[in-house]
Amino acid sequence: MVNYKVADENLTDQGKEALYIAESKMPVTAKVIRERFQKKKPLNGIIVAGCLHITKETGNLARTLKAGGAEVYLCGSNPLSTQDDVAAALVQEDINVFAWHGNTDEEFYWCIRQCLDAKPNILIDDGADMIVTAHHEYEDLIKSGTIIACQEETTTGVKRFKAMDKQGVLKVPLFPVNDARCKNQFDNELGTGQGIVSAIYGMHVLFAGKNVVIAGYGHCSSGMALRARGLGANVIVTEVDPIKALQAKFAGYQVMPIEKALANADIILTATGCKHVISPTKENFNALKDGVILGNLGHFDIEVPTKEIYEYAKEIKPIRQNVEEITFPDGKRIYLLAKGRLANLVLSEGHPAEVMDMSFALQSLMSEYIVKNKEQLKPGMVDVPVEIDDRVGFLKLQSMGVEIDKLTKEQYNYIHGYEEGT
Ligand SMILES: NC(=O)c1ccc[n+]([C@@H]2O[C@H](COP(=O)([O-])OP(=O)(O)OC[C@H]3O[C@@H](n4cnc5c(N)ncnc54)[C@H](O)[C@@H]3O)[C@@H](O)[C@H]2O)c1
């Protein structure tokens, strides 16, 4: 029997179309791995719980895990990123889904608990909320070894687990899938880079000629800066890391502190994983230009100081779904995207399926790896094995018909040796 709570089961047909479109763009996850899983059933008897953005790509990950024999439970990792049609369609395929767009914080955690109540063996998180909840409220699942190991999909989650590990409170083996090369060099950089276009699209503004401030120059934000420049914007980067700031400077961007950048900004986009990137002061709010667009693509809604902006507002007027015109006491209007939450996921459909193919190929192969190696796994952070990262890279190249060179024995020995010199 399938367990679920979704917004509207009548959206199933629409959701099926979305899953089908993504499937055709995910040849590694939804074809090569799925077909092998279907035959070999490496996840037989395993319950996988995913706290992920419920998108058509995640739907295809769930189908692949199910093809491998797993029972799959899903809940949303962000209150505004769930695609209700996809959630409805997955239920029809006997995937247990607890997710709907616009859930409250209380409902968000209720959904997580429904997944943990199923006593899962593998947890796949995006932002750490499910695994942290397991540590706080489901200690038995950890102590009994029911939870074999966990996987984390995003940078913010990995940072939270590193902090737990450092403090000695991480009690499960944790694979930071985000840190694999096939994940952050493509999903974060290309996906989020392209995501700014979809995030802003509904505002009908031209990037060309605009002053676009990008906060951060990490994986996501450097991709965003590149795309904004490609669209003709004058890009200003803000950073706190001197090396990243140098990289931005040498890439040809203006670099300055955010407070200096505010007054001339037409669009401000954050993706840092930090909080209060724009510090919530009256001076900063007053410095903003009339008509400025504020958006965040980082994991939580605190990079742009959303709560404080709402408190300072004289009037909040929704002008499209999840876009608000906010009037400040002096009459100035600013435009806040997605209530400060991941604008690319809330206002559009998240990353293109082609990049999620690699992220979710890693999540699929790591689930298989965890089952195969369960006796050897110890609590703490464990890197994704290089062989799995490389395998996803090769499979992706193969799916695109791209061949590459292979090291000869002589070349291998040379680059791993020291004897040969001048
Ligand atoms: N929107 C999406 O679809 C999506 C996809 C992947 C990751 N993410 C999220 O985006 C965020 C960034 O991820 P990433 O992989 O780029 O991380 P990253 O660590 O590669 O980059 C973050 C950068 O922000 C900088 N930074 C930190 N605090 C800052 C501040 N106050 N002002 C200016 N710069 C600051 C850091 O020095 C770093 O260079 C995370 O929250 C991550 O979970 C979102």
How far does residue 324's CA lie from ligand 1's centre (Å)? 24
Quick check: CB of 393 below 6 Å from ligand 1? no
Mutate to test the pocket of ligand 1, among 190, 192, 217, 220 (most ligand atoms within 8 A of CB): 220
Protein residue whose Cα sits closest to atom 27 of ligand 1 = 272
Quick check: CB of 176 below 6 Å from ligand 1? no
User: Which pLDDT value is given to residue 201?
Assistant: 83
Ligand 1 atom with the smallest distance to the CA of 238 is 33
CA-based angle 6:10:14, to the nearest 5? Answer: 95
How far does residue 328's CA lie from ligand 1's centre (Å)? 28
Query: What CATH code is carried by the domain that includes residue 144?
Result: 3.40.50.1480
Residues 393 and 316 both lie in one domain: no
Mutate to test the pocket of ligand 1, among 188, 253, 297 (most ligand atoms within 8 A of CB): 188
Quick check: CB of 255 below 6 Å from ligand 1? no
CA distance 299 to 221: 13
What pTM did the predictor assign?
Answer: 0.96
Domain span at residue 257 reads 203-346
Question: Domain boundary residue among 325, 346, 367?
Answer: 346
Quick check: CB of 77 below 6 Å from ligand 1? no
CA distance 159 to 176: 9
How far does residue 273's CA lie from ligand 1's centre (Å)? 4
Cβ burial, residue 92 (10 Å; 0-12/13-18/19+): middle
Protein residue whose Cα sits closest to atom 3 of ligand 1 = 192
Residues 178 and 322 both lie in one domain: no
In a domain, 418, yes or no: no
Ligand 1 atom with the smallest distance to the CA of 155 is 43
Residues 383 and 317 both lie in one domain: no
DSSP code string of 128-187? SHHHHHHHHH-HHHHHTT-S-EEEE-SHHHHHHHHHHHHTT---SEEE-GGGSHHHIIII
Residues 307 and 324 both lie in one domain: yes
How far does residue 188's CA lie from ligand 1's centre (Å)? 9
Quick check: CB of 296 below 6 Å from ligand 1? no
Question: Domain boundary residue among 283, 312, 346?
Answer: 346
Ligand 1 atom with the smallest distance to the CA of 188 is 6
Ligand 1 atom with the smallest distance to the CA of 300 is 41
Quick check: CB of 219 below 6 Å from ligand 1? yes
How far does residue 33's CA lie from ligand 1's centre (Å)? 30
Residues 342 and 355 both lie in one domain: no
In a domain, 405, yes or no: no
Residues 365 and 235 both lie in one domain: no
Residues 244 and 141 both lie in one domain: no
Strand partners, 24: none
Residues 37 and 107 both lie in one domain: yes
How far does residue 281's CA lie from ligand 1's centre (Å)? 22
Residues, the chain, total? 422
Rounded to 5 degrees, φ, ψ at 125 are -110, 160
Q: Which two tokens stand for residue 123?
A: 């947890």
Question: Domain boundary residue among 307, 323, 346?
Answer: 346
Q: Which two tokens stand for residue 50?
A: 């995913």
In a domain, 196, yes or no: no
In a domain, 419, yes or no: no
Contacts for 106 with CB less than 8 Å, ≥ 6 apart? none
In a domain, 194, yes or no: no
Ligand 1 atom with the smallest distance to the CA of 299 is 41
Backbone region of residue 291 per phi and psi (left: phi > 0; alpha: psi in -120 to 50; beta: other values): left
Write out the chain's pLDDT in tens, 422 residues.
999 999 999 999 999 999 999 999 999 999 999 999 999 999 999 999 999 999 999 999 999 999 999 999 999 999 999 999 999 999 999 999 999 999 999 999 999 999 999 999 999 999 999 999 999 999 999 999 999 999 999 999 999 999 999 999 999 999 999 999 999 999 999 999 999 888 888 888 999 999 999 999 999 999 999 999 999 999 999 999 999 999 999 999 999 999 999 999 999 999 999 999 999 999 999 999 999 999 999 999 999 999 999 999 999 999 999 999 999 999 999 999 999 999 999 998 899 999 999 999 999 999 999 999 999 999 999 999 999 999 999 999 999 999 999 999 999 999 999 999 99
In a domain, 421, yes or no: no
Ligand 1 atom with the smallest distance to the CA of 191 is 3
In a domain, 302, yes or no: yes
Quick check: CB of 215 below 6 Å from ligand 1? yes
In a domain, 228, yes or no: yes
Query: What CATH code is carried by the domain that includes residue 254?
Result: 3.40.50.720
Residues 133 and 239 both lie in one domain: no
Residues 41 and 131 both lie in one domain: yes
Residues 65 and 17 both lie in one domain: yes
CA distance 55 to 66: 16
358 within 8 A of 183, measured Cβ to Cβ: yes
Quick check: CB of 341 below 6 Å from ligand 1? no
Residues 10 and 152 both lie in one domain: yes
- Counted domains in the chain: 2
